[in-house]
Amino acid sequence: MLSGKDKSGFGWDEHKHMVVAEDVVWNSYISSHKAAGQFRNCSFPYYDQLTSIYAKN
């Protein structure tokens, strides 16, 4: 789902560590990607640490 932040209409909130978008964008995406709904209000507090460990150079 984190690849969703690169989709049109999605962004990344650095303070909350979560994928953000307007309701209409979320609703449209979730209508065709049902499993993504669980991430709508989910933060990823260890995102920065995990990207430093697993990022490809």
Residue 2 has pLDDT above 50, yes or no: no
Mean pLDDT of the chain: 87
Question: What's the Cα-to-Cα distance from 53 to each of 15, 38, 47, rounded to whole Å?
Answer: 20, 25, 10
Do 36 and 1 meet the contact criterion of CB atoms below 8 Å apart? yes
The residues, ordered by sequence, that sit 6+ positions from 9 with a Cβ below 8 Å of its Cβ are 21, 22, 25
Beta bridge partners of 12: 19
Six-digit token pair at 19?
A: 């994928």
Total number of domains in the chain:
1
Assign 46 to helix, strand or coil: coil
The residue segments making up the domain with residue 22 are 2-54
pTM attached to this predicted model: 0.72
Residues 25-48: tens digit of each pLDDT = 999 999 999 999 999 999 999 988
